[in-house]
C-alpha cells in the first residue's frame, strides 16, 4: 500500500508523529511518499486559521493538547520554541532533495528537523541546522543546497496536490481514497494497513 504523507516541518504535530509512520509502514509492507508543504498557505487555501490568529481559548487548548501528546509519547517539547515560526521552505527543499537522492533515511530526517525546532531550540531555516539533520539521517550535508529550483517547484506542487486531495492540516495521510488527519489518527491508519 502507498501512503501519501503531507506534512509541514514547522508543525508540532508533525514532530509528534516521530518515526511511528515509518515503523507502521515497515510492519505492513507499505511505502511512503513524503510531501512537505507550506502549512500557512494550506490554511489560507482551505479555511484554516494560523495559530497566532486563533481565539485565545483555541491557542491555549492547542498548547495543552501538544503537551498531553508529548507526555503520552515520552517526547520532549518546548511549547513556545525560540525559532517558531520560521521559514519552512529551506528544510522542505532539503527533504525533497534527500528523497530524490535516496541514500539515507527520510523518516529520520523529517523527525530530526522537527525535533530541532520543537525540542532543541534550533532554527530549521538555517543551513547548518539542516545539514546536521541531513548528516544524522545518513545523507550528504551538501544536499542542503542541492536542487533548489526543483525543490521550490515540488514544494509548490505538493500544496496544489494537497488542496486537490482534500488535505487541510498537517500531518495528513492518504491511502487510496482514505484520509487521516493528525498524528493521533495513526492507529486508524494502521488498522487500514493491517487489512491489506
CATH code of 138's domain: 3.40.30.10
Does residue 58 have a pLDDT over 90? Answer: yes
Predicted confidence band of residue 8 (pLDDT cuts 50, 70, 90): very high
Question: How buried is 71 (Cβ within 10 angstroms: 0-12 exposed, 13-18 middle, 19+ buried)?
Answer: exposed
- Phi-psi label, residue 121: left if phi above 0, alpha if psi -120 to 50, beta otherwise: left
E runs forming strands in the chain: 2-7, 31-36, 172-175, 178-181
Predicted confidence band of residue 42 (pLDDT cuts 50, 70, 90): very high
Does residue 147 have a pLDDT over 90? Answer: no
Residues counted in the chain: 196
Mean pLDDT estimate for the chain = 97
Q: Which long-range contacts (CB under 8 A, 24 or more apart) does 165-169 make?
A: 165/4, 165/6, 167/6, 167/42, 167/46, 168/42, 168/43, 168/46, 168/47, 168/48, 169/13, 169/39, 169/42, 169/48
> Looking at the 3D structure of the chain, how many domains does it have?
1
Flag whether the pTM goes above 0.95. Answer: yes
User: What residues make up the domain containing 69?
Assistant: 2-195
Tell me, what's the pLDDT at 196?
Answer: 84
Q: What angle do CA 6, 82, 107 make, to 5 degrees?
A: 30
Does residue 137 have a pLDDT over 90? Answer: yes
Tell me, what's the pLDDT at 146?
Answer: 86
Tens digit of each residue's pLDDT (9 = 90 or more) over 92-104: 999 999 999 999 9
Tell me, what's the pLDDT at 34?
Answer: 98
Tens digit of each residue's pLDDT (9 = 90 or more) over 155-187: 999 999 999 999 999 999 999 999 999 999 999
**Per-residue pLDDT averaged across 1-11, rounded?**
98
Amino acid at each position: 500500500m502507498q501512503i501519501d504523507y503531507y506534512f509541514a516541518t514547522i508543525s508540532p504535530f508533525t514532530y509528534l508523529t516521530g518515526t511511528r509512520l515509518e515503523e507502521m509502514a515497515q510492519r505492513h509492507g507499505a511505502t511512503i511518499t513524503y510531501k512537505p508543504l507550506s502549512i500557512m498557505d494550506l490554511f489560507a487555501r482551505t479555511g484554516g486559521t494560523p495559530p497566532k490568529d486563533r481565539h485565545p481559548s483555541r491557542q491555549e487548548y492547542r498548547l495543552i493538547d501538544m503537551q498531553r501528546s508529548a507526555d503520552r509519547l515520552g517526547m520532549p517539547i518546548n511549547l513556545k520554541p525560540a525559532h517558531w515560526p520560521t521559514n519552512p521552505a529551506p528544510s522542505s527543499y532539503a527533504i525533497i532533495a534527500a528523497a530524490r537522492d535516496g541514500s539515507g533515511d527520510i523518516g529520520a530526517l523529517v523527525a530530526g528537523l522537527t525535533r530541532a525546532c520543537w525540542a532543541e531550540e534550533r532554527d530549521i531555516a538555517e543551513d547548518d541546522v539542516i545539514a546536521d539533520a541531513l548528516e544524522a539521517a545518513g545523507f550528504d550535508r551538501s544536499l542542503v543546497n542541492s536542487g533548489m529550483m526543483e525543490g521550490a517547484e515540488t514544494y509548490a506542487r505538493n500544496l496544489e496536490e494537497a488542496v486537490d486531495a482534500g488535505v487541510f492540516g498537517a500531518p495528513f495521510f492518504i491511502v487510496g481514497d482514505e484520509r487521516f488527519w493528525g498524528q493521533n489518527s495513526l492507529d486508524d491508519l494502521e488498522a487500514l494497513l493491517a487489512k491489506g
